[in-house]
């Protein structure tokens, strides 16, 4: 079993946030470089193919939280990973492309009109089709083009992930599968009127089929640990992720975040009085206590233990 190093890696005098932000800058550079190279080569080979690249690039560059790269880097650096490491930067870029792919497909399924302040791809391509008077149905063209852009984003992610060390790649492969199945589970439950606005499954212990994707948090942390060579962190990271995901889901329900409109709003307005909210807050606090206990048992340095505790509260909306 790998043990926590007694001496920090180069740059260890920087704060955890500074180390992570510096690595995120490199992730941004990696994303921008790949998309710029693809755009140049596609414009030369076939200008029409550059349309798909442009659509992916526009969404990636429109501004985002980079949620899964942040989680992955946190798991990696807390595990003692080298801040100069390249594999984790590649993994984070792959995670962002996967997020982009699933976001595009979700927009098509829900017929969303805006994403990150700009028209969704299926809407913009349908409008282009209609303006130019092209043959066929504008809506079908827009949706088909958007789905292909999502496929392209997934292909970029797979291209990058294929070069990762085997343990990290296996986690990536599992994540790819579970997020796709989870997206279908969410859509199917809503169609069949089986979706439950209350995130009880997450509170009781999510399985791999959780439509909200607790495995997105779990896998991103474990990929970071794997790239740092810290298999000994699997168990504490899994417990941390499970408790934190449940706290995040409950906070989303209380605030009416993504995935908690419609039936969830009705449930909050009709049945959730002040006492019910107080009980929910107590539940969140208990879940964060579980996450803290997992961190306390994890073989990481004190400053990264403190960062994981603080990170949990940011994710759960307690700051």
The CATH number for 10-70+84-164, chosen from 2.40.110.10, 1.20.1090.10, 3.30.360.10, 1.10.600.10, is 1.10.600.10
List, in order, residues 6 or more apart from 299 with CB less than 8 Å away: 3, 4, 232, 233
**Which band of pLDDT confidence, cut at 50, 70 and 90, is reported for residue 193?**
low
Is pLDDT at 7 greater than 50 in this prediction? no
Mean pLDDT, rounded, for 11-34: 92
The CATH number for 166-184+194-319, chosen from 1.10.510.10, 1.10.600.10, 1.10.10.10, 3.40.50.1010, is 1.10.600.10
Mean pLDDT, rounded, for 120-147: 92
Tell me if the pTM is above 0.95. Answer: no
Is pLDDT at 21 greater than 70 in this prediction? yes
Is pLDDT at 3 greater than 90 in this prediction? no
pLDDT at 8: 43
Averaged confidence pLDDT in the chain: 87
- When mean pLDDT is compared across 124-133, 198-207, 277-286, the lowest value belongs to 198-207
- When mean pLDDT is compared across 73-82, 182-191, 272-281, the lowest value belongs to 182-191
**Same CATH topology for 10-70+84-164 and 166-184+194-319?**
yes
Is pLDDT at 189 greater than 90 in this prediction? no
Domain locations in the chain as residue ranges: 10-70+84-164, 166-184+194-319
């Amino acid at each position: 079993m790998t043990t926590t190093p007694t001496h920090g890696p180069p740059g260890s005098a920087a704060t955890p946030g500074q180390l992570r932000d510096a690595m995120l800058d490199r992730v941004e550079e990696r994303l921008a470089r790949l998309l710029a190279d693809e755009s140049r080569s596609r414009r030369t080979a076939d200008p029409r193919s550059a349309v798909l690249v442009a659509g992916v690039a526009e969404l990636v560059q429109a501004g985002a939280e980079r949620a899964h790269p942040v989680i992955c880097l946190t798991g990696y650096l807390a595990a003692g990973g080298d801040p100069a490491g390249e594999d984790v930067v590649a993994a984070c870029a792959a995670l962002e492309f996967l997020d982009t792919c699933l976001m595009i497909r979700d927009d098509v399924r829900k017929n969303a009109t805006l994403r990150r302040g700009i028209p969704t791809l299926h809407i913009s391509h349908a409008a282009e089709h209609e303006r130019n008077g092209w043959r066929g149905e504008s809506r079908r063209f827009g949706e088909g083009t958007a789905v292909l852009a999502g496929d392209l984003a997934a292909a970029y992610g797979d291209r990058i992930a294929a070069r990762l060390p085997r343990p990290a790649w296996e986690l990536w492969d599992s994540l790819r599968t579970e997020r796709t199945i989870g997206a279908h589970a969410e859509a199917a439950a809503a169609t069949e009127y089986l979706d439950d606005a209350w995130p009880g499954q997450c509170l009781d212990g999510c399985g791999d089929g959780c439509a909200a994707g607790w495995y997105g948090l779990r896998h991103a942390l474990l990929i970071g640990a794997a790239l740092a060579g810290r298999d000994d962190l699997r168990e504490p990271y899994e417990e941390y992720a499970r408790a934190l995901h449940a706290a995040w889901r409950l906070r989303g329900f209380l605030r009416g975040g993504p995935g908690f409109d419609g039936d969830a709003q009705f449930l909050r307005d009709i049945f959730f009085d002040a006492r019910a909210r107080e009980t929910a807050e107590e539940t969140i606090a208990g879940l964060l206590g579980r996450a803290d206990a997992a961190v306390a048992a994890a073989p990481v340095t004190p400053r990264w233990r403190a960062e994981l505790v603080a990170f949990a509260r940011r994710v759960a909306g307690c700051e």
